[in-house]
Amino acid sequence: MSKKRREIPVFDHPIIETHCHLDYLKDRPLEETLEQAQGVNIEKVITIAVSPDNLARVRELSQVAPWVYGTQGIHPHDAESYSDDVEAEIRAHARDEKIVAVGEIGLDYFYDNADRDVQREVFRRQLQIACDTDRPVVIHSREADDDTIEILGEFEATLKRRGVIHSFTSGPGLARYALDQGWCLGFNGITTFNKAENVRDIVRMAPIDQILLETDSPFLTPVPYRGKENAPFYLPFVAEKIAEVKELPLDEVIGKTYQNSLRTFFPGE
């Protein structure tokens, strides 16, 4: 007989889902997913663009509810599909009312789905969009710590809003650089995985006022729901794990990460 999974905890204080991919969710209707998210007191959801094919879809999704927002950007996996026309589309919508960041952009040398020189060029071009439109950035960096630091260093003076290095799995060098420069680090269900002590070490290092909560759903479902498609409503498990690892009261973690999310993406609130 399978062990019954613990029910999703519901906190009194609202939480913000800073990184998911609503257009990738398949297991249930979108309306049901969002209803369940509200049921566990998720106040806002940010769904993330990754490719030329889903820029418009993310903008559409940002309109499905007042509390759903989006980003515009091209993931390093799709860097070779970047073009002047794609850049023009991102620029045209980066300051839309429901678009809160440029992303998901960055470098991925683990899969190497795009030429590394192209990845670096596209990363720089999109960082420039963020500078020009005064938007924060959602960064993907995998097995590319040194180049990520080098390229971000080129924009230290001009990228005012900073942003987040999401799904942080990099080493302490990139973590220290990012934290010193005022970036947030995003953590998700990986923090609950048995073999992710390296990620938990970064959680311990990061000040609580520079941590964001995310699911990256439909990927990286947290324990105890691994094996199921991830969704924003599993975010409370990430909050619990951050509190456990940092040995902080859960209420403090929820409150601080909520304020961090507002500061990063919703500075007017």
The pLDDT tens digits of the residues spanning 1-27 come to 345 789 999 999 999 999 999 999 999
Binding residues: 19, 21, 104, 140, 166, 216
With beta carbons less than 8 A apart as the criterion, state whether 48 and 232 touch: no
Which pTM does this prediction carry? Answer: 0.98
Pair of tokens at residue 236 = 């409370």
DSSP strands (E only) in 57-148: 68-72, 99-108, 137-142
Q: What is the mean pLDDT of the chain?
A: 97
Q: How far is CA 69 from the centre of its chain?
A: 12
Binding residues for a divalent metal cation: 19, 21, 104, 140, 166, 216
Q: Which residues contact 167 (CB under 8 A, 6 or more apart)?
A: 19, 140, 186, 187, 188, 190, 214, 216, 220
The pLDDT tens digits of the residues spanning 195-241 come to 999 999 999 999 999 999 999 999 999 999 999 999 999 999 999 99
Which amino acid, 71? T
Query: What was the pLDDT predicted at 8?
Result: 97
What is d(CA 129, CA 163) in angstroms, rounded to the nearest whole number?
14
In DSSP terms, which residues pair with 137 in a beta bridge?
A: 102, 163
Q: Which residues contact 51 (CB under 8 A, 6 or more apart)?
A: 74, 75, 77, 78, 81
Question: Across residues 181-190, what is the average pLDDT?
Answer: 98
Q: Treating both helix axes as pointing N-terminal to C-terminal, what angle do 250-265 and 235-246 enclose, rounded to 10 degrees? A: 120
Query: What was the pLDDT predicted at 2?
Result: 46
Q: How far is CA 21 from the centre of its chain?
A: 10
Question: Across residues 47-52, what is the average pLDDT?
Answer: 98
User: Looking at residue 181, what DSSP letter applies?
Assistant: T
What is d(CA 264, CA 100) in angstroms, rounded to the nearest whole number?
9
- Dihedral Cα 50, 239, 69, 49, nearest 10 deg: 0
Residue that is written with structure tokens 């899969």 in the block: 111
